[in-house]
Every structure is written in structure tokens, then in C-alpha cells.
């Protein structure tokens, strides 16, 4: 198992120590994402007027929304890949059948030519 890391990050101007098994680069990327979301929503007057509890809930909802949209996109891409894999599988089998038929025709043509 990986070693547990302790990484110092700044989120919303607060320095935090995050412990986890992920790499420092990954945890920094997650922190950057959260800070980007915070900066995006802090620009909105309607967000700034909310209580801290409501701001936290809105941020959690927005991050969950991003997650579910990304997850849906992954599912769509996986379905697309599965369909392509099936198409490739079918085409390979069709090619094998055609090659076998070609070999049979060539064998028959050779046999017919030798009889003459």
C-alpha cells in the first residue's frame, strides 16, 4: 500500500494540511479546482449575499453537479467505445469468413485447372 502523504494546500486563503494516499500533485490539482470554483462563484452578487452555510451547500451542489456531468460523459464514451469494439469484432469475423471463402474459391479454381 502507498505511504500516506501530508500535503499543505491553500483553499480559500486558508492553509490546510491534507492527509491522503494520493500524490501531492493530485491533491494540489483538487485544491486548485476548489479554489477555481470558489473564485468563479465569488464573482456573483447572489452568491456573496448568502450565509456561509448556504455558500457551502451551493458549492457542494455545484461540485456534485460537475461530478455527475463528468460521470455521465464517461458513461457515454464507454458506451461509444463498447460499440466500436463490437463493430471491430464483427468486422474481424467478417474478414476471416471472407478470407476463408477466398481460399476455398482459390483451392477450387486450382483443382479445376489441374483437372483440365
pLDDT (tens digit per residue) in 62-113: 999 999 999 999 999 999 999 999 999 999 999 999 999 999 999 988 877 6
Mean pLDDT across 38-56: 94
Helix axis angle for 24-42 and 52-115, nearest 10°, is 120
Any domain includes 19: yes
In a domain, 49, yes or no: no
Q: Looking at the domain assignment, is residue 16 inside a domain?
A: yes
Q: Could you report the per-residue pLDDT of 1-10, keeping only the tens digit for each?
A: 678 999 999 9
Res 1: pLDDT? 61
* pLDDT value, residue 68: 98
The pLDDT of residue 15 = 97
pTM: 0.69
In a domain, 14, yes or no: yes
Residue of 37, 43, 25, 52 whose CA lies nearest to 9: 25
pLDDT at 106: 92
- Interatomic CA distance for residues 7 and 102, integer angstroms: 64
- Residue 55 domain-assigned? no
Range of the domain at 33: 1-41
- What dihedral angle (degrees, nearest 10) is formed by the CA atoms of 74, 75, 78, 80? -110
CA angle 103, 107, 113 (to 5 degrees): 145
Grid coordinates representing 40 are: 468563479
80 backbone dihedrals φ, ψ, rounded to 5°: -65, -45
Q: How many domains does the chain fold into?
A: 1
Domain membership of residue 7 (yes or no) is: yes
Amino acid at each position: 500500500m502507498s505511504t500516506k502523504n501530508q500535503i499543505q494546500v491553500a483553499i480559500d486563503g486558508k492553509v490546510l494540511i491534507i492527509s491522503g494516499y494520493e500524490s501531492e500533485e493530485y491533491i494540489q490539482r483538487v485544491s486548485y479546482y476548489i479554489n477555481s470554483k470558489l473564485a468563479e462563484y465569488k464573482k456573483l452578487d447572489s452568491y456573496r449575499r448568502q450565509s456561509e452555510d448556504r455558500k457551502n451547500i451551493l458549492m457542494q451542489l455545484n461540485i456534485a453537479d460537475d461530478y455527475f456531468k463528468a460521470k455521465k460523459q464517461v458513461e457515454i464514451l464507454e458506451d461509444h467505445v463498447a460499440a466500436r469494439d463490437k463493430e471491430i469484432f464483427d468486422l474481424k469475423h467478417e474478414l476471416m469468413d471472407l478470407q476463408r471463402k477466398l481460399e476455398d474459391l482459390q483451392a477450387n479454381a486450382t483443382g479445376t485447372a489441374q483437372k483440365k
